[in-house]
Amino acid sequence: MADHSRRDPNSTYPSDEDGELGDKVQQVRAELESLKLKQEEIEREKARLEDLKRRQDSLENGRSDMLDKLTRALVVVERETEEAQKRVEQMRQIHSSFTQHLRDLESINARAWLPQDLPRELSRALSSVDNARAEYTKSHAKLAVESQEHDHSDPAMSENPVEFEDRSFGVWLKMGFAFTLPLQILALVALLLHIWATTSAR
């Protein structure tokens, strides 16, 4: 009886060793494919982490930059707000003062003065005019200083910072009346003296 347990080396049938080697090759190939997939996954994770790191760095740099800018800007804004509030309060005081002087000057009615009250009324009226002129000059100087500090680009504005271009004709008329009031009073006094002298001569 022939022994079939021993195969011819030249036989075309694979031996057990050839089968084991083939299995190992397949196993290695499977492991290589698995490693390739893991490498691709690692590369994707690496790219994701690098993108997160860039965004985190961008956040930190942008946050630090804006914190610095906003902090310095708030200091400037607070300082400008305080200056603006002071200027508004100063403007209110000037407005109140000008309004009061304007009322005082408008209340002067030289035609209603009695001859015997002329010296007293005239002194009081001239005092009102002087007070108004002094307040106007002082306030005009304050406005000039403020305008020069806030406008360095226009020399014409610095030389004549307060023009009151928005005043109506009526206001200008009142101001003109106030500024020429002393001359009007002097003319009235001269007229009254002339009438008194004429009456006395008769």
pLDDT at 163: 45
Q: Which helix (H) or strand (E) holds 123?
A: helix 118-150
Per-residue pLDDT of 42-93, as tens digits, reads 999 999 999 999 999 999 999 999 999 999 999 999 999 999 999 889 889 9
5 secondary structure, DSSP code: S
Q: Which of 84-93, 124-133, 167-176, 179-188 is predicted with the least confidence, judged by mean pLDDT?
A: 167-176
Query: What are the domain boundaries of the chain?
Result: 45-201
Among 169, 99, 107, which residue's Cα sits nearest to residue 135? 99
Contact present, 139 and 98 (Cβ < 8 Å): yes
Residues making up the chain, counted from first to last: 202
In angstroms, the Cα distances linking 46 to 61, 113, 125 are: 22, 100, 91
Residue 122: CB atoms within 10 Å: 19
Non-local (6+) Cβ contacts of 106 within 8 A are 174
Per-residue pLDDT of 133-168, as tens digits, reads 988 888 888 777 666 665 554 444 344 444 444 455
Per-residue pLDDT of 3-56, as tens digits, reads 444 445 454 445 556 677 778 888 888 888 899 999 999 999 999 999 999 999
Residue 129: CB atoms within 10 Å: 20
